[in-house]
Chain A
Amino acid sequence: MRRTRRRALVALAAPLALSLAALTGCTSGGQAGGNTGGNAKDTLTLGLTADIQGWDPGVQPTYQGWGADAVWDSLLRCGPTGEPSASLADKWEFSQDQRTATLHIREGVKFSDGTPVDSAAVKANAEYYATAGGASSRWAGITVETPDAQTVKISWPAANPLLALRMCESKIATPASIAEGKFEAPIGSGPYTLDTSATTGGSVYTFVKNDSFWDSASFPYKKVVLKVLESETASINALKTQQINGSLITTATYEEAKASGLALETLKANTTRLLITDHLGEKIPALGSVDVRRAMNMVFDKDAIAEKLYLGRATPAYQIFREGSNAYIADMKDPYPFNVDEAKSLMAKAGFSDGFTLQIPTMQGQGHEKLMPYISQQLALINIKVEEVPLSGPNAISELLSGKFPVPLWQLGNYGESLQDISDYTLKDGIWNVSHQADAKIDELWNTILTGTEAERKQAQQDVNRYITDQAWFVPMAYPEHFYATTAGVEVSQVSDFSGLHPLLRDFK
């Protein structure tokens, strides 16, 4: 079931992902077959903590999307902080009103079935995204123009400051496969092609190098093998026996990995937080009081959480944004230091000293079993009685995001591009703003982001951060670390994923 959450939430696009997968303890079903493929430069074998979710280009999570990255090329590539660079499009331009992306498709590129990658193909793909499910709401209402065979213009109905990210998320598949609507085997123009004969759905996927790829040099391995290893202990053991060359691991196995001499890349890509989305107190009147929300911030000892609960492999968080992103305020002091007495007096001041009952939804495999006892215990200090509501089954995600529970507890992504955070967590339509309440101040700042100058935009992002911190819309607790472990001989040059969750395929050298 962890896979459900993981898959479903991962499908939201990059965001929340890491927490979901990485904290999982053990589920299983993976094949740790013998590494029969010669020396390491020939073959790169990576563990997947979740199975590949089929080959529909419209429904592709970017999380651990090595398979998708291998077979499909994207229009653009995004760096760690979301800055775009050339890929399938060698030239591009975003309109001033942030509504239209104009791209020039690289000349002479062909899909692996020999058909050309042209503007018509891109149009077919873009239009497909808008209806395919997956990230369809992010592409909803687009119009695509193809002035010539190499040029494509994609326009959004409203200003969209995240155009670059959308371009980077795209996976360009053959129009034929899209028209057919069946995606049994992927056909794309990526650096590798799927070797179906050496692939077993659900356990092993083998990719062989596409030498005609335009950037072939960035992908040194002749063969990439992805193995589904849903259990972390399975992954660790496979790493130790060189059955795989790399895998995501968590604090649970960190010591073991370190002791085994594995190279570890530290990733700090999310924030553990409570999301107090009912700012207006519609469902729980007390939450409408800023004092109550602030009091809730004051009952947690963030240092202890980082030091003890996360075994020192986390840093205390005072804001939800990633260090170095535009919205991040570098010199922010803890706005709500741990002080239960003051929290109590704030509650009294707000007239809620008797507290209230708070339902917090939890799911298996999200690390809740680690956090919930402490959170319930601390909130109880200010008479907030926490009721844990375990969610399960296929409806779990729907329920989680339905607004039924106005204060979810989750470890959520903090992106290199903080606009994504702002859009997901603070805008009225933001998926994680589950109560979906409008806020005039946020709207105003977002408007600045859409229309302002570069400097104004950055300032507006910081203002958003200040505003939500002051209003205590969140209870940030820690930036937990996660790790990417690799065996000797496999080097991770950098982690260029803008969501910071794991290295991308091109990062393996």
Chain B
Amino acid sequence: MMLSVLKRLLRSAVIVLIVTFATFSLMFGNGPGIARAILGYQATEGDVQRKVVQLGLDRPLLVQYGDWLGNAVTGNLGESFFTGQTVTSALATRVPVTLTLVVLTMILTIIISVLLGVAAAVYGGWLDRALQFVAVLGAAAPSFIIAIGLVFAFAIAVRIFPATGYVSPDISLGGWLLSVTLPVISLLVGSVANAASQFRGAVLDVLSRDFVRTLRARGIPGSHIIFRHVLRNAGGPGLTVLSLQTLGLVGGAIFVELVFALPGIGQLANLSTQNGDVPMAMGPVVVTIIIVLVVNFIGDFANTMLNPKARTR
């Protein structure tokens, strides 16, 4: 057990290294360009050179990366080249926004897709067909198109929700709810469509297993079979779907953040990457990888909890 945890940590560390290095080197523009962008065009050539040296952009890529990594390990992600804001403080305001979207969407996805998936698998018929239809539609419309549609319908045509912006829950809980409703729905559609149909498959799969027939023959009521035995066994594959889904959401959130003007990490990544604000752009990258690793870990852990075979192995 200890060994496998250790192995896993090692593996995660290597993944973090590879991903951060890959993004770091992709974003590594030329130093003078970045310095010029920071200082503006009225700055003299000498000032630009000084800035380059000051930011350490004249050093070899590996040295810069090593430097960044060394600091990152101690929790210091550096400061923005442009605004001087520390990356951690920028993340502190932006991560909650993205996490709100992802977590809310995931919770709703789990609830809705489990209910829909089970209902479709068990009852079949029109419910099943309806689910499959919705699943296809939901999977087909990209989240940003759904988002545009929702803004049009519920913020511009009928003004129920704010079209854009994010309200922190400590300012106004109601405002927060209103501000995240449409973004969450736009993410939710695709997410539920996918998860529910996968879950339906998993439930059907378990339903076709021998022990379910035996349980029925034992006289155990149908609902007990579904909620105690089938769900538990469909949980494993379901979790895999959900963890993949979460990872997809973290990426998809960027589009929704764009349409709804939400200050999340996707926006931060987009803007700072294009600015050449390397430290700032690395922030979302690090957060994303951490989310990926954590989600994978939770997925595996929950799977282990659900699957006794995995536990004893």
A, B assembled together: yes
Contact partner of A200 (CB less than 8 A), chosen from B39, B47, B93, B179, is: B93
A54 adjacent to B84 (CB under 8 Å): yes
- Give the docked Cα–Cα distance between A9 and B37 (Å): 8
A243 adjacent to B39 (CB under 8 Å): no
Residues of B within 8 A of A393 (CB): 29, 33, 274, 276
B258 adjacent to A28 (CB under 8 Å): yes
Q: How far is the CB of A228 from chain B (nearest CB, A)?
A: 8
Interface size on A (CB < 8 Å)?
63
Residues of B within 8 A of A243 (CB): 165
A394 adjacent to B84 (CB under 8 Å): no
- Give the docked Cα–Cα distance between A440 and B48 (Å): 31
Question: Is A149 an interface residue, CB under 8 A from the partner?
Answer: no
Q: How far is the CB of A27 from chain B (nearest CB, A)?
A: 7
Contact partner of A34 (CB less than 8 A), chosen from B80, B172, B271, is: B172
Query: Closest residue to A131 on the B side, CB-wise?
Result: B47
Query: Closest residue to A133 on the B side, CB-wise?
Result: B39
Residues of B within 8 A of A234 (CB): 163-165, 261
**Chain A at the B interface: mostly helix, strand, loop or mixed?**
loop
Query: Closest residue to B40 on the A side, CB-wise?
Result: A11
- Give the docked Cα–Cα distance between A296 and B99 (Å): 53
- Give the docked Cα–Cα distance between A59 and B54 (Å): 15
Question: Is B123 an interface residue, CB under 8 A from the partner?
Answer: no
8 Å CB contacts to B: which residues of A1-60?
1, 3-4, 7-13, 26-34, 36, 51-56, 59
B164 adjacent to A32 (CB under 8 Å): yes
Per-residue CB contact flags for chain A residues 292-323 toward chain B (1 = under 8 Å, else 0) read 00000000000000000000000000000000
Residues of A within 8 A of B37 (CB): 4, 7-8, 394-398
A33 adjacent to B268 (CB under 8 Å): no
Question: Is A220 an interface residue, CB under 8 A from the partner?
Answer: no
- Give the docked Cα–Cα distance between A171 and B66 (Å): 37
Residues of B within 8 A of A26 (CB): 258, 261
Question: Is A136 an interface residue, CB under 8 A from the partner?
Answer: yes
B84 adjacent to A8 (CB under 8 Å): no
8 Å CB contacts to A: which residues of B82-118?
82-85, 89-90, 93-94
Residues of A within 8 A of B163 (CB): 233-234, 237
- Give the docked Cα–Cα distance between A136 and B90 (Å): 28
Q: How far is the CB of B89 from chain A (nearest CB, A)?
A: 6
B271 adjacent to A1 (CB under 8 Å): yes
Q: By CB atoms of chain B within 10 A, which of A1, A31, A36, A234 has the most?
A: A31
Residues of A within 8 A of B270 (CB): 1
8 Å CB contacts to B: which residues of A179-214?
182-184, 200-203
- Give the docked Cα–Cα distance between A13 and B164 (Å): 31
B40 adjacent to A394 (CB under 8 Å): no
Query: Closest residue to B259 on the A side, CB-wise?
Result: A28
Q: By CB atoms of chain B within 10 A, which of A30, A32, A54, A137 has the most?
A: A32
Per-residue CB contact flags for chain B residues 148-187 toward chain A (1 = under 8 Å, else 0) read 0000000100000011111110011001000100000000
Q: By CB atoms of chain B within 10 A, which of A27, A137, A243 has the most?
A: A137
Question: Is A509 an interface residue, CB under 8 A from the partner?
Answer: no
B261 adjacent to A398 (CB under 8 Å): no
Residues of A within 8 A of B264 (CB): 29
A34 adjacent to B39 (CB under 8 Å): no
Question: Is B252 an interface residue, CB under 8 A from the partner?
Answer: no
Question: Is A118 an interface residue, CB under 8 A from the partner?
Answer: no
Contact partner of B274 (CB less than 8 A), chosen from A4, A28, A228, is: A4
Question: Is B32 an interface residue, CB under 8 A from the partner?
Answer: yes
Query: Closest residue to B34 on the A side, CB-wise?
Result: A394
A231 adjacent to B83 (CB under 8 Å): no
8 Å CB contacts to B: which residues of A387-428?
392-398, 401
Question: Is A61 an interface residue, CB under 8 A from the partner?
Answer: yes
Question: Is B25 an interface residue, CB under 8 A from the partner?
Answer: no
Residues of A within 8 A of B165 (CB): 30-33, 229, 234, 237-238, 243
Question: Is B38 an interface residue, CB under 8 A from the partner?
Answer: yes
Q: By CB atoms of chain B within 10 A, which of A30, A61, A182 has the most?
A: A30
- Give the docked Cα–Cα distance between A267 and B37 (Å): 27
Q: How far is the CB of B27 from chain A (nearest CB, A)?
A: 9
B261 adjacent to A231 (CB under 8 Å): yes
Residues of B within 8 A of A138 (CB): 42
Residues of A within 8 A of B260 (CB): 28
Q: By CB atoms of chain A within 10 A, which of B34, B35, B50, B82 has the most?
A: B82
A133 adjacent to B47 (CB under 8 Å): yes
- Give the docked Cα–Cα distance between A237 and B152 (Å): 12
Q: By CB atoms of chain B within 10 A, which of A28, A200, A237 has the most?
A: A28
Q: By CB atoms of chain B within 10 A, which of A137, A184, A394 has the most?
A: A394
Question: Is B304 an interface residue, CB under 8 A from the partner?
Answer: no
Contact partner of B267 (CB less than 8 A), chosen from A29, A53, A136, is: A29
Residues of B within 8 A of A142 (CB): none
Question: Is A226 an interface residue, CB under 8 A from the partner?
Answer: no
Question: Is A241 an interface residue, CB under 8 A from the partner?
Answer: yes
Given A33-B165, A238-B164: A12 in contact with B42 (beta carbons within 8 A): yes
A395 adjacent to B29 (CB under 8 Å): yes
Q: By CB atoms of chain A within 10 A, which of B171, B260, B263 has the most?
A: B263
- Give the docked Cα–Cα distance between A8 and B41 (Å): 7
B262 adjacent to A34 (CB under 8 Å): no
Question: Is B51 an interface residue, CB under 8 A from the partner?
Answer: yes
What are 20 pairs between A and B in contact, CB < 8 Å?
A9-B40, A11-B39, A12-B40, A27-B271, A28-B263, A29-B271, A32-B179, A33-B167, A33-B172, A34-B167, A34-B171, A36-B172, A59-B38, A59-B40, A133-B43, A134-B39, A182-B84, A237-B155, A237-B163, A394-B34
CB-based closest 8 A-B pairs: A11-B40, A394-B276, A32-B165, A133-B39, A28-B261, A395-B33, A1-B274, A234-B164
